[in-house]
Structure formats: C-alpha cells, structure tokens
Amino acid sequence: MTQRVALVTGAMGGLGTAICQALAKKGHKVVAAYHPQFDKPEEWLKEQAAEGFKDFIPVAGDVSDLASVEKMVADAVEKAGPIDILVNNAGITRDKMFAKMEREQWDAVINTNLSSLFNVTKQVSAKMAERGWGRIINISSVNGVKGQAGQTNYSAAKAGVIGFTKALAQELAAKGVTVNAVAPGYVATKMVTAIREDILKSIVDSVPMKRLAKPEEIGFAVAFLADDLSGFTTGATLNVNGGLNYQ
C-alpha cells in the first residue's frame, strides 16, 4: 500500500490515540496534533513507543484558533510532508441543561468542535485537491444525530459536523478527495467515564449492545474511510454506536 501522511487532531486523547494507532497499523506516517496546554506530550509519546508506535510526530496547536492552526499545520508539513489524510477529532464537552448553560460553554464547544473544522480543513483541502487525492474524516457523534439532553452545544456542533461533511464532500467529489464523518456512540474514554455514575449506567442500559465502544472500534472505522478502496464513499456518516440511534 501507499504510505500517506495523516494529521490527527486531539491525537493524545482517548479516541485520538486509537485513531493514531489504527492509521499507523495501516503503515501511514501519523502527525499527532495536541493542544498547547496539554502538559504530557512527552509522556504520551513514551507510552506509545512502549506499545510499539515509535514514529508519531507531535505538533501543537489550538484548533479553535485560526492563527495557531496555521502554524501547527505548517509545522506538520515541514516535519512530515503534505497532508493526505486529515482526521478532525479534537473535541470537548461542557454539558449543562440549556436553562443553566452559559454563553461561554456554548462558545467553547462550538469553537472547538465545529469552527475547528473550518480552521484545520482550510489548511489542507485545496492542496489535497491539487494533488488529486485526499481523505478528510470528521468525528461527529451519535448525539449530533439523535440529540442529547444536557448537550445542546455539543449536539449542535456535532450535527454541524455532519452538514459540513456533506457539503464539502460535494465540493471535492470530482477532485479525488473524499469527506466523511464517523459518528461514534458512547466510547470507553475519559470523556464518557466522567459522566455521573447513575447517568452513565442508564446510558449503557439504553444501548442495544449494552456496552460502551472500545476506542479501537472507532479507530478501525476511521482507518476504513482513509483506505484507497473507500474512494467511492463520500459525504457519508458512519454510525458506530452499538445500535443506539436506531431506537
């Protein structure tokens, strides 16, 4: 297979780590983008090396800030070469019932989970089109598909991710660049295990498969969409949610 250069945002989080590993297993060169305030990049890199993933290339940048992203992607290209595969994975939650939600919590989630797609994709999409090959994979969420009480900000952003994906897919379809979304259900990462225990239990009970996803199950979906043979798949949302959104 052809080795590609992949840039993964939010790379050092629960889902990001699994995505980096899945792409590395396919033989790709993986640039692991992390927030400048994340204090343990070296530790993460050491852990990855201990698991056999020695070649991740770290770059720092705040995906919610265009100027920071411009520098981050320039750094990535300098270290690894032009980006062939972009995984827009960075995301946060600021869960509150809407009646109690502050504008700050709304803005933080919209900026990090949705406006980041403008900031990061803008740096790479035209160049992918010029080269005639590219994969843009955006991480949405089951809660963008079905809505979730306590997450008007997050559900709006993640539904926005799907709209962005479908629109950009049409713009780039004739240029060899596919744009798809993966909509994970509840995955066993810190973001999910931080939910209050009783609420989490009722969430797991509501999942037809009665369990959380393993991060690797999401990584695999991303690697699938990044494959050469996914070249006819564009504008799609791949639901990986244990059956949750079909209820």
Q: Is the dihedral of CA 23, 29, 32, 33 positive or negative?
A: negative
CA atoms within 13 A on the CB side of 29: 13
Which of 21/141 has CB closer to ligand CAA?
Answer: 141
Least distance in Å: CB of 93 to ligand CAA?
5
Query: How many residues touch ligand CAA (CB under 6 A)?
Result: 19
By the rule CB under 6 A, 141 interacts with ligand CAA: yes
Please give the residues from 76 up to 95 whose contact with ligand CAA meets the rule CB under 6 A. 93, 95
By the rule CB under 6 A, 143 interacts with ligand CAA: yes
By the rule CB under 6 A, 221 interacts with ligand CAA: no
By the rule CB under 6 A, 196 interacts with ligand CAA: yes
Applying CB under 6 A, the span of 5-13, 111-119, 146-154, 218-226 interacting with ligand CAA comes to: 146-154
Q: Interior CA angle at 11 toward 46 and 220, to 5°?
A: 105
Please tell me the distance from the alpha carbon of residue 238 to that of residue 218, in angstroms, as a whole number: 10
Nearest to 231 by CA among 153, 152, 172: 172
Least distance in Å: CB of 121 to ligand CAA?
20
Site mask, ligand CAA, residues 222-241, x = CB under 6 A? --------------------
Please give the residues from 150 up to 179 whose contact with ligand CAA meets the rule CB under 6 A. 150-151, 154
Residues in the chain: 247
* Active-site amino acid positions: 154
Least distance in Å: CB of 229 to ligand CAA?
27
Applying CB under 6 A, the span of 26-34, 108-116, 130-138, 192-200 interacting with ligand CAA comes to: 192-200
Least distance in Å: CB of 151 to ligand CAA?
5
Find the binder of ligand CAA among 49, 67, 74, 97 (CB under 6 A).
97
Which of 129/188 has CB closer to ligand CAA?
Answer: 188
By the rule CB under 6 A, 109 interacts with ligand CAA: no
- For ligand CAA, the binding residues (CB under 6 A) are 93, 95-97, 141-143, 148-151, 154, 186, 191-192, 195-196, 199, 203
